[in-house]
Amino acid sequence: MSVFNDSIELVPYDNQWPKMAAQEIKKLQEILPANHIIDIQHVGSTAIPGMLAKPIIDIQIAVDSLNSIKQLAIDALKILGYEYWYENPDPERMFFVKGMPPFGEKRTHHVHIVELGSKHWKNKILFRNYLNNNPEVAREYEQLKLNLAKDNPHDREQYTNAKTKFINNVLGKARETFHAAKQHPAIVFLTGASGVGKTTIVDAFHKKYPASSVTCLHFDTIGVPSEQEMVTAYGSGSEWQKAMTYQWVKKLLTHYNNKKLIIFEGQVNLDFIISAFEGFSFHNYKIVLVHCEKNARHKRLHQDRNQPELINDNMDTWAEFLKKQAIEKQAITLDTTLMNTKEMVNQFEKLIDIEKLT
């Protein structure tokens, strides 16, 4: 991208900026594939009332998978007048500009497309929210920008890099505030390989506790496509699982936010669970890995569930991978090797401290 006639200009806050952002977001919602969009938000300095800013509307879009949406997004945003930055060195972000010379007279909009769990999504939202809630910090940031724009009127890279220390300090304070806030509902996410007892535990909970106090849900109720269908739509089975985890967490936090406790089970990579909740700035959750010894798991799959096709090297490797992840992430682990259903449920209740949650 050329930087011809692309100098840094700071102007007083314009009350029309939020309206302009809302109008652009509506256009983006209409032209992008809704099944991949998790959230769209107005970010950057034009999203902070009263803030001096470059007159450029920054819009950030959280998607379930960059792999699946990349070419669709490039083609769609081209229709709206955006140029895609192909030279962007950051693989976690797609960056689009509207109006930048020589494609227009001056920049008017930036669009950042990222995955929900990326640091870009979390940091821009946290920074914006913190400055909106702390006007004195916003004024400090404004003065810093004025000084930097004066020193670097034509060097956007230097102008941006020089703000890094201040932004990182604010993000540190914002994270402390975020983790101190109370959130609802409480969510317990059970993961583990086939045959370890996840579904057994959740079904027993469903019978034991009234729906008014505990909501029990299963990942696979969305329908699990074939491996080839996953590859066609998302590039790999892993990408599909990540995307569906993001979609499920969005559903839990929007459709079930009036519930007190949600018990949710599925065979999910712990990294995907963590990044999904962090992407929504939600911390009131626990991850429980349900695990058992291989021989016990094979016996359950063969005799109790009549699913011998699930006894294979891939499932054994998956079970060990999840166990290793749980240790690394310091997740709660429930070993059901020698337990019957009642013992599983009782131990699960103790591990999650059910009395505090209900």
Report the alpha-carbon distance of residue 290 to residue 68 in Å, rounded. Answer: 31
**Please, where in the chain does CATH 3.40.50.300 lie?**
186-357
Residue 74, SS3 per DSSP? helix
**Please, where in the chain does CATH 3.30.460.10 lie?**
17-180
Find out if CATH 3.30.460.10 is the number for domain 17-180.
yes
Vertex 106 angle, CA 102 and 109, to 5°: 110
Tell me how far apart the terminal alpha carbons of the chain are, to the nearest angstrom: 55
The answer to whether 9 and 54 are in contact (CB under 8 A) is: yes
Query: How many CB atoms are closer than 10 A to CB 143?
Result: 11
Query: Each residue of 228-254: pLDDT tens digit?
Result: 999 999 999 999 999 999 999 999 999
CATH class of 186-357: alpha beta
Per the listing, tokens 């699930």 go with 310
The amino acid occupying position 14 is D
Query: Each residue of 4-38: pLDDT tens digit?
Result: 445 678 999 999 999 999 999 999 999 999 999 99
Query: Each residue of 87-145: pLDDT tens digit?
Result: 888 889 999 999 987 777 788 999 999 999 999 999 999 999 999 999 999 999 999 98
- β-strand 37-43 against 186-191: which pairing, if any? unpaired
Residue 333, SS3 per DSSP? strand
Please give the pLDDT value at position 160: 81
| The token pair that represents 66 in the structure block | 């960059």
**Alpha-carbon torsion, ordered 22, 23, 27, 30, to 10 deg:** 60
Of 352, 331, 206, 321, whose CA–CA distance to 273 is shortest?
A: 331
pLDDT of residue 294 exceeding 50 = yes
Query: Each residue of 44-63: pLDDT tens digit?
Result: 999 999 999 999 999 999 99
